[in-house]
Structure 1
Amino acid sequence: MCYSAQVWADYHRYVRVYGAEIAIDVFYDLYVRRRQGEKLKTPKSMDLAFRGGQSQLESQISAMVRDIHAAEISDLERELFKQTKRLADATRSLLTKQTKKALEEQRIAGNKIEQMKGRLRNLQRVDDQPSDSRIYPGMYAPVMVWEDGKRVVKPMRYQCRAQGKPAINDRKFPGTYNARRDNLEGFWKSQFGRTQGLMVAERFYENVETPDGNAVLEFVPRTGEPMLIACLWSRWTDPKGEEPDLWSFAAITDEPEEEVAAAGHDRTIINIKPEHIDAWLNPEQGNLDALYAILDDKQHPYYEHRIAA
């Protein structure tokens, strides 16, 4: 399963390369909710893409991003102060008597301090690094879809909750950030052939069991070209009208490419060819054979791998 990927998080790239338009209102609503305190996760590259925005909404999103980051920095600084005091108290206690509790307090506080310092450095820097575009299940990422006769990019959560399903399904089925090809007409029948999208990524990551334990492998196309990852998506609306709409998606996976299987993983994302973009995004209703043909005609760039940093 593709549990993580380094994606095109900057919507400008979709405009330049694929001629897509941006659903700026959906981006705006997402950042309003974040500023109001909802625990919604976005990659930093997506946040920074709105700097110097040309439209009024882009400028407003940029201002909200600054507010969101400032609030996160403030929260981290308060927690850092608490953990620094916790570490100092444990260290003083150990000077008089070494106890298991004090040692554990010292260890936990020290680890948390290092983690928070790293998060602070990440929030405070303004340069864009490759890791800023990496997403995990539950995070939001730009997804290209078809709407009103054109390609459109919207932010969606990387874990699909199908319309009509209860919100508790997020916990009952935590693996719904991927959609198995052999289940497209089963679990995913409401999306397959109806609501299809593409996520553009440069590399993907998988957990693999090795003789030395679990390892995270990074897979990169040898060609260096971006991957057009076939996805399914849904717009979930709360039947009670109490929760905001949720745009979410899942990446389709298939039997592994040979080199991926040799590395120890049993699934691979489906990387479609550029000439199939519109036929995939705007499928002919009821013609599932045509969609399977697109999936069969996927790109095979050879995925080189290494242990992720």
Structure 2
Amino acid sequence: MCYSAKVRAEYRAYVKEFGAHLTLDEYVKEYWEQFGDEWVPKLPQAIRAWFDDPTVPGQAELHEVVAAWKARTIAKTETDLFAQVKRKADAERALQAKITKKAQEDLRISTNKIGHFKTKLDDLKRSELKPRDSRIYPGTLVPVIVWEDGRRVIRFMRYQCRLPGWNEKTERQYPGTYNARRDKLESSWSQLFGRRHGIILADAFYEHVPRHKLEQRELGAGEAEEDVVLEFKPRGIGTMAVACLWNASPVDGRPDLLSFAAITDEPPPEVAEAGHDRCIIPIKRENIDAWLQPDPKNVAASYAILDDRERPYYEHEIAAAA
């Protein structure tokens, strides 16, 4: 399962390299004005940075919404940080008088939360982007390229697909729908495969693997299994156009929920040897338009595009903390 990826962050890459268009006025109307700013924190920080410049035509409203959300979030986080600093000081004074379980727990929890809130504030206040700012996870809003009105268009979609006919309750029972297995495309995903195709632009993907499998050995006697996160980067092809399926789910009183899943397949040898059993599918650039305009009566053509994929060598390393 591809639980995380590093998406291409630069807006110009979508426009200049991949010819995709984003109508900001329409985006404001359909999402920001009706949903308020509850979607802002679901955008990766590198994507929120698209709207940092109020002088760019069409971005003024988005800039104002993001700036207002950021100001409120900074104020709340500073208040939360102050409360935990006080809690820690109170716990330290209490422990000097008498060691109690409550004071020890208050000290432990407040210390952890102080670190969390300081990191959050640093992220909110800095303007320089870091690699982790481009990471996506299930639930994140991601720029997805689809085909509309005879051209490639960017739509922001949630990374976890709500299948046709599902509601919020149904999808909670199936939390793994951020990936679509290639061998299930004509069963579990049949209502989307051959009908609603998209791509995301990604520079790397991440997987959880057991350390002993990464090291190609058996667990030692009494050894507990340890999980590590690996970052896989394609060698030689640059940005990957990752094959996806998407859906638009009606939501009462609001715009449709747009959501997607990345298609995965059996891994190449180097990914399998690193301990993982799935891999995303980067399609060739010359096949993008055909992929985005599928014929539901000719799924063989869609399979052919998936098979005629980019086949880079995936280098891996233990991922830095997100």
- The one-letter code of the counterpart of 2:126 is R
- Say whether residues 1:231 and 2:272 are aligned partners: no
Shift of 1:33: 5.5
Q: Measured at CA, do residues 92 and 35 of structure 1 come closer, stay the same or move farther in structure 2, by a change above 3 Å?
A: farther
Q: What secondary structure does 2:168 align onto? A: coil
After superposition, what is the alpha-carbon deviation per residue over 1:226-246, rounded to whole angstroms, capped at 9, x for unaligned? 1110000011112xx244421
Q: How does 1:134-145 map to 2 (within 5 A)?
A: 134-145=135-146
Q: What is the TM-score when the length of structure 1 is the normalising length? A: 0.94
CA distance in structure 2 between the partners assigned to 1:9 and 1:159 by the alignment: 20
**Structure 2 gap segments, 5+ residues each:** 213-224
Checking the alignment, whether the CA contact within 8 Å between 2:287 and 2:305 is kept in structure 1 is yes
Q: 219-228 or 31-40: which moved more? A: 31-40
| Structure 1 counterpart SS, 2:180 | strand
* Cα distance in structure 2, aligned partners of 1:270 and 1:87: 48
Gaps of 5+ in 1: none
State the Cα distance separating 1:119 from its structure 2 match.
Answer: 0.6
Structure 1: distance between partners of 2:26 and 2:197: 18
Residue 82 of structure 1 and its aligned partner are, at CA, apart by 1.3
Q: Which region of structure 1 is more displaced relative to structure 2, 161-170 or 261-270?
A: 161-170
CA contact (8 A) 1:9 1:45 kept: yes
Q: Distance in 1 between matches of 2:40 and 2:154?
A: 22
| TM alignment of 1:76-91, pairs within 5 A | 76-91=77-92
User: What is the one-letter code of the residue matched to 1:122?
Assistant: D
| Cross-structure match for 2:265 | 254
Shift of residue 26, structure 1, vs aligned partner: 5.3
- 294, 298, 301: which one pairs with 1:283? 294
Aligned-residue offset at 1:70: 0.9
Greater mean deviation of Cα atoms: 270-279 or 158-167: 158-167
* Counterpart secondary structure, 1:216: strand
The root-mean-square deviation of aligned C-alpha atoms, in Å, is: 1.7
Change (3 A) 1:16 1:233: same
Query: 1:295 is matched with which residue?
Result: 306
Q: Name the counterpart of 1:22.
A: 22
1:12 Cα deviation (Å)? 2.8
Per-residue CA shift, 1:191-226, capped at 9, x if unaligned? Answer: 100110000000010011113600000000111511
User: What is the TM-score when the length of structure 2 is the normalising length?
Assistant: 0.91
- Give percent identity, aligned residues only: 49
Task: Quote the offset at 1:267 in angstroms.
Answer: 0.3
| 8 Å contact from structure 2 (residues 40, 66) kept in 1 | no
Q: Does the CA contact (< 8 Å) of 2:209 and 2:228 recur in 1?
A: yes
**Is contact 2:181-2:265 (8 Å) kept?**
yes
**Cα distance in 2, alignment partners of residues 48 and 9 from structure 1:** 9
Task: Report if aligned partners of 2:144, 2:155 keep a CA contact under 8 Å in 1.
Answer: yes
User: Is contact 2:34–2:254 with CA below 8 Å preserved after alignment?
Assistant: no
Matches within 5 A, 1:99-110: 99-110=100-111
Answer with 7-16 or 108-117: which moved more: 7-16
2:127 and 2:86 map into 1 onto residues whose CA distance is 29
On the 8 A contact 2:70/2:124 being kept in 1, the answer is: yes
Among 215, 219, 225, which residue is 2:228 paired with? 215
In the alignment, which residue of structure 2 is the partner of 1:148? 149
Matched, 1:266 2:266: no
Contact 1:256 1:268 in 2 (8 A): yes
Match of 1:206 in 2: 207
**DSSP-derived class of the 2:206 partner:** strand
- Deviation of residue 21 (structure 1)? 1.1
CA contact (8 A) 2:88 2:107 kept: yes
The answer (yes or no) to whether the contact 2:31–2:255 under 8 Å persists in 1 is: no
Asked if 1:158 corresponds to 2:159, the answer is yes
In structure 2, the CA distance between the partners of 1:261 and 1:188, relative to structure 1 (3 Å rule), is: same
